[in-house]
Amino acid sequence: MKTKLKLNKKKFIPVSIPHVSNKDIGIVNKVLKKGWISSDGPEVKLFENEFSKKIKRKYSIAVSNGTAALEVAIKALNIKKNDEVIIPNFTIISNALAVVKQNAKPVLVDCDIDTWNIKIEDIEKKINKRTKAIIITHIYSFANDMDKILKICKKNKIFLIEDAAEVIGLKYKNKMCGSFGDISTFSFYANKQLTTGEGGMISTNNKKLYDSCKTLRNLCFGKKQRFNHDDIGWNYRITNIQAALGLGQLERLNSVVKRKMEIGNYYFQRLSKNKNIYITPPKISYSKNIYWVVGIVIKNKKVLASKIIKKLNNFGIGARPFFWPMHEQDIFKKMKIFPKKKYPNSSYLGRYGFYIPSFLKISNSEMNYIISKINKLL
Ligand SMILES: Cc1ncc(COP(=O)(O)O)c(C=O)c1O
């Protein structure tokens, strides 16, 4: 493919650029001027309420990031030592950390090689008497098949923690992702569909869990005597400044999701012809592709993703590797928390997957340039 875009040495196309509008800046300025800067400001509650409405949940609790949201969720469900929690092997380390930090045991399930989400067929093989919960994470592209997941949770009486950090605004069969879990979690890091710089949210329909998450977020201050704390909590509060930004961002979530899908489609139409790589399609039977990141997997072990990433960087193109599977994490190997088993799909994706620039304002000529270089290298 020919491309008109000539990048000079200084120009670099990054993987992600946060989208902050003038309106967002206006809202943030307003709270700054009023002096409402800590977590006590009114925008925090407002943001939580608006978020609940959007996701269609009764309660939301804003926290300082998505990792914190998961930690609070696990503790609120009273998961502790000797309990087991099933997690995807191909995911962010935050899923495993939340379990490990409560001294419980994460149990890994490999991923599906086409959707990159947890391999549903393998879940029940890992359930036993000690299994208390499962973390279902929607990875990069598609929603998990939630009907099947809910059925497994119900049958085996285990809690569902839904990690919707990467798919804010995506639906599964007309219901928002993040509306299925006993507790659901989100991240508002700078590269997410909705950002507050750093930030996160926990959502639930259960009042008891809501109360529990709220107190855990805020150091478990005593009810009768404020500074006599009744449990081990965290300061995982969000600031009012972040919440104000979140309110602005939430207003245009639909258009962000639409644009991300447009970008993913553009790449898919042009890259899916290349038989040396795999790119996820715009939709599968139960989910559209939100293309949080536009991921590419190199087929047939042709060349490692790390090599291609370096070469793309030399062409002035940002690219990042996929998640590194949990069973291959140095820290977990040292801790010997996982049995020596093979998870071939996660291992493959970790070595041969990478993602390319897909920020909202990317131009067609920038995408054409990236496509031409990928086709040249692969
Ligand atoms: C699926 C998933 N869960 C949790 C997190 C953690 O969120 P945070 O970076 O806000 O701690 C991320 C981060 O990107 C993520 O992708």
* Per-residue H/E/C for 50-110: HHHHHHCCCEEEEECCHHHHHHHHHHHCCCCCCCEEEEECCCCHHHHHHHHCCCCEEEEEC
Check if 71 has its Cβ closer than 6 Å to any atom of ligand 1.
no
Model pLDDT, residue 40: 94
pTM over 0.85: yes
* pLDDT attached to residue 3: 55
Strands 283-284 and 105-109: unpaired
- Residue-level pLDDT at 252: 96
Residue 211 has pLDDT above 80, yes or no: yes
Model confidence pLDDT, tens digit, residues 234-262: 999 999 999 999 999 999 999 999 999 99
**Cα distances (angstroms) measured from residue 320 to each of 11, 166, 211, 317, 350:** 18, 16, 39, 10, 11
Output the CA 5–ligand 1 centroid distance in Å: 33
Q: What is residue 65's predicted lDDT score, i.e. its pLDDT?
A: 98
Is the minimum distance from the CB of 169 to ligand 1 under 6 angstroms? no
pLDDT digits (tens, 9 = 90+) for 269-309: 999 999 999 999 999 999 999 999 999 999 999 899 999 99
**Residues facing 235 on adjacent strands:** 218
Which pLDDT band holds residue 100 (cuts at 50, 70, 90)? very high
C-alpha 160/C-alpha 127 separation (Å) is 13
Helix (H) and strand (E) counts for the chain? 12, 15
Kindly tell me if the per-residue pLDDT of 364 is higher than 60. Answer: yes
Distance from the alpha carbon of residue 67 to the mean position of ligand 1, in angstroms: 6
| Torsion angle of C-alpha atoms 319, 98, 95, 119, degrees rounded to 10 | 160
Distance 223 CA to ligand 1 centre (A): 31
- The residue contributing the CA closest to ligand 1 atom 4 is 66
Closest CA to 113 of 324, 303, 369, 347: 347
Residue 4: CB atoms within 10 Å: 7
Contacts of 245 (CB under 8 A, 6+ apart): 20, 24, 27, 28, 195, 196, 197
Domains annotated for the chain, with CATH where assigned, are: 22-251 (3.40.640.10), 253-377 (3.90.1150.10)
Q: Using a 6 Å cutoff on CB, does residue 164 contact ligand 1?
A: no
Pocket of ligand 1 contains residue 178 by CB under 6 Å? no
Find, among 191, 193, 185, the residue nearest to 167 by Cα.
193
What's residue 10's pLDDT?
A: 64
Is the pLDDT confidence value at 5 over 70? no
Q: What average pLDDT does the segment 224-229 reach?
A: 96
Q: Is the pLDDT score of 226 beyond 80?
A: yes
Q: So what's the pLDDT on residue 261?
A: 98
12: Cα within 13 Å, side-chain hemisphere? 11
Helix, strand, coil shares of the chain, percent, nearest 5, are 40, 15, 45
66: Cβ contacts below 8 Å, ≥ 6 apart: 94, 163, 165, 185, 186, 187, 188, 189, 200
Q: Which atom of ligand 1 is nearest to the CA of 138?
A: 1
- With cut-offs at 50, 70 and 90, classify the pLDDT of residue 123: very high
Q: Which two tokens stand for residue 218?
A: 């805020």
195: Cβ below 6 Å to ligand 1? no
Tokens representing 266 are 């553009």
Question: Is residue 2 pLDDT above 60, yes or no?
Answer: no
Residue 6's pLDDT band (boundaries 50, 70, 90)? low
Ligand 1 atom nearest to CA at 199 = 10
pLDDT per position as a tens digit, 26-77:
999 999 999 999 999 999 999 999 999 999 999 999 999 999 999 999 999 9
The answer, yes or no, to whether any atom of ligand 1 lies below 6 A from the CB of 92, is yes
The answer on pLDDT for 215 being more than 70 is yes
| Angle, CA of 33, 200 and 112, to the nearest 5° | 150
Residue 8 has pLDDT above 60, yes or no: no
Per-residue confidence (pLDDT) for residue 260, from 0 to 100: 98
Asked whether 284 and 117 are in contact (CB, 8 A), the reply is: no
CB of 287 closer than 6 angstroms to any ligand 1 atom: no
- Tell me what the pLDDT averaged over the chain comes to: 97
d(CA 268, CA 51): 31
